[in-house]
Amino acid sequence: MKKDGIIKALKDIVGNDFASNEPEHLYIYSQDPGASLPRPVDFVVLPKTTEELQEIVKLANEEKIPITPMGGGLTLSGLVIPVKGGIVIDLKRMDQIIEINRYSRYALIEAGVTTGKLLSHLKENYPDLEPPIPDAPPSATVAGNVLIHGSGYLSQKYGDQGAMVNGLEVVLPNGDNAKLGSCALSNYWFAKGPIPDMIGLFLSSFGTMGIVTKLSLQLQPKPKCRDIVFGLMKDPNNIPELLYQITATDLAEDVLLGMQDKPDWMKGYVFVMTYITAEKKEDLDPQVKLFKRLYRKAGANYMKAPKKMQDLYLQKPIFAAGAADYRKGGGFEYVGANMPLEKIPEAYIKGAEVSRKFGIPPTLGSRLIGGTHNIVMFFSYSFNRADPDDMENARSALEETNKLALELGGIPWKAELGAQKQILKKMDPNYKKLFFRIRNLLDPNGIMNPGNWEEV
């Protein structure tokens, strides 16, 4: 079918107002806020229902047109910019919160529900529950975050967002619609199994296996009070022991670390921030005392966080997008890398070296995931969007950092195309073979976000 025929067919499915191949829309969907170069898009479509989405996927499959699912488009790694053109499917019109199950503590939502919407819905209607959301802007979708193994303020306690999925409804590359998890045989989306677990296939596969239309996500009890215990340490080598001791208390909700040059008093230190929670304010005090002692023993110094900082870090979500304005350049991208805890000191030391090499002030951070089982490290590079050379410089820094993360035994997270290639190169060949076989079985025409997770 020619382009005219395809746009007509898409409009027939979703209505005239929600499909386009006009240059202005294609321009916007061919880029993301990260450092990736734009890549061309042929069509943009915004379905409202699962049925519409199934029709779009069937059309793409018949016509062998690549499709790229998109939520908020905020990974910064260019994951929603098609590699081989085709159709971007913006899912944010599928935005219904279908059910909040208070006793089984889960939210059943459509794929386009934003983290902002779920957060505010719970705040208003279920004030004793909280959703696992990232510090990404509230326009990120819950699904987009879950599907990349995102993490947030609840991850230290409960594991990453992927661990909190109870079930998915997925449109497969042939247009079929499959339910995964307890919802495959029960009206209750309360658990992953016990049946053969296929949910994992759809996580961090970047839309190459299917398009999620609904998901059930665990909610957690919301504490009445929350505070942060702030500390500074000079020597990054103290980090593993400090985090080991913090998590042993079983009192930390979230633990963030960071290293940055601004404000001046932070330069040369790694900061640690332990979030503590309680039912009553006065119950926080003994915890603060305990962590003060613990910090001292592990080589960090307690410090009362300045009010401005406290306000910033107690927000949900934290306004992390401010990093884009760090040099008033409107852009930043980071390598996120999941790492073993013992490699974190080296990650800070070598990460700062990479930053300096590329002339970018070091901005490093990390967040614990599931106790000390996993820690996600952020190597962040701000750039000036108006300066193509500066953006190229950031891309080079990202590439080198991905290499560093892999060398240290970590795995780049929400990996951009370059990092995906580096990961595949290092991956056990039989894992790779299995992955490609399953993918080809599901998507013989190669329409699902092609170019991602591909070696050539």
Residues binding other proteins (CB under 8 A): 17-18, 20, 22-25, 27-29, 31, 33, 44, 46, 72-74, 90, 92-93, 114, 116-117, 119-121, 123-124, 137-140, 319, 321-322, 324-325, 328-332, 384-386
Q: Which segment (130-138, 179-187, 297-305, 355-363) binds ligand FAD by CB under 6 A?
A: 130-138
Cα-based angle 426, 427, 431 (whole degrees, multiple of 5)? 165
Minimal distance, residue 217 CB to other proteins, in Å = 17
Whichever of 19 and 255 has its CB closer to other proteins, that residue is 19
The residue whose Cβ lies closest to ligand FAD is: 144
Residues sharing a CB contact under 8 Å with residue 79, sequence separation 6 or more, in sequence order: 32, 148, 206, 414, 416, 452
147 binds ligand FAD (CB under 6 A): yes
145 binding partner (options ligand FAD, other proteins, none; Cβ < 5 to 8 Å by kind): ligand FAD
Least distance CB 81 / other proteins (angstroms)? 12
Q: Which of residues 34-73 bind ligand FAD (CB under 6 A)?
A: 68-73
Does 181 bind ligand FAD (CB under 6 A)? Our answer is: no
80 touches which of other proteins, ligand FAD, none (CB within 5 to 8 A by kind)?
ligand FAD
CB closer to ligand FAD out of 21 and 420: 420
Cα–Cα dist 28/41, whole Å:
9
User: What residues from 186 to 215 belong to the interface with ligand FAD (CB under 6 A)?
Assistant: 206-207, 211-212
Task: Give the strand pairing for 220-221 and 129-130.
Answer: antiparallel
Interface mask (CB under 6 A) for ligand FAD, residues 18-37, using x and -?
--------------------
Give me the numbers of helices (H) and strands (E) for the chain, helices first please: 13, 19
Binding region for ligand FAD (CB under 6 A) out of 9-17, 139-147, 183-191, 236-244: 139-147
Alpha helices in 76-135 (DSSP H): 115-125
Query: 225 vs 386, which CB is nearer to other proteins?
Result: 386
Q: How many CA atoms lie within 13 A of 440 on its CB side?
A: 7
Cis peptide before 263 (omega within 30 of 0): yes
18 contacts which partner out of ligand FAD, other proteins, none, CB within 5 to 8 A by kind?
other proteins
Start-to-end CA distance of the chain, whole Å, equals 27
The yes or no reply on residue 408 touching ligand FAD (CB under 6 A) is: no
Least distance from other proteins to the Cβ atom of residue 388, Å: 10
Using CB under 6 A as the binding criterion, the count of chain residues that bind ligand FAD stands at 34
Query: 219-233 b/e with 16+ CB inside 10 Å = b?
Result: beeeeeebbbbbbbb
218 binds, among other proteins, ligand FAD, none (CB under 5 to 8 A by kind): none
From the list other proteins, ligand FAD, none, pick the one residue 223 interacts with, judged by a Cβ distance below 5 to 8 Å according to partner type: none
Q: Which does 166 bind (CB under 5 to 8 A by kind): ligand FAD, other proteins, none?
A: none
Q: Name which of 137 and 370 has its Cβ closer to ligand FAD.
A: 137
Nearer residue to other proteins within complex by CB, 361 or 370:
361
Q: Which amino acid is at 24?
A: E
Return the number of the residue (120 or 186) whose C-beta is nearest other proteins. 120
Stretch near ligand FAD under the rule CB under 6 A, chosen from 116-124, 146-154, 248-256, 264-272: 146-154
Q: Which is nearer to other proteins, 4 or 428 (CB)?
A: 4
* Least distance (Å) between residue 256 CB and ligand FAD: 10
Task: Please tell me whether residue 365 adopts helix, strand or coil conformation.
Answer: strand
CA 201 – CA 439 distance, rounded (Å): 9
Amino acid occupying residue 339: M
Binding mask 151-170 for ligand FAD (x = CB under 6 A): xx------------------
Of the candidate residues 140, 273, 347, 404, the single one contacting ligand FAD (CB under 6 A): 140
Q: What is the DSSP letter of 22?
A: -
Q: At which residue do the structure tokens 């332990």 appear?
A: 274
Alpha-carbon separation of residue 387 from 54, 394, 397 (angstroms): 41, 11, 16
CA distance 89 to 409: 35
Burial string for 388-414 (b: 16+ CB within 10 Å, else e) reads eebbebbbebbebbbbbbbebebbbbb
The torsion of the CA quartet 385, 389, 393, 394, rounded to 10 degrees, works out to 10
Under a CB-based contact definition with an 8 Å cutoff, are residues 410 and 347 in contact?
Answer: yes
Q: Give the neighbor-by-neighbor strand order of the sheet with 411-413.
A: 301-303, 225-233, 270-278, 252-260, 363-369, 374-384, 330-339, 411-413
Q: Which residues of this chain interact with ligand FAD, rule CB under 6 A?
A: 68-76, 79-80, 91, 111, 134-137, 140-141, 143-145, 147-148, 150-152, 206-207, 211-212, 320-321, 449
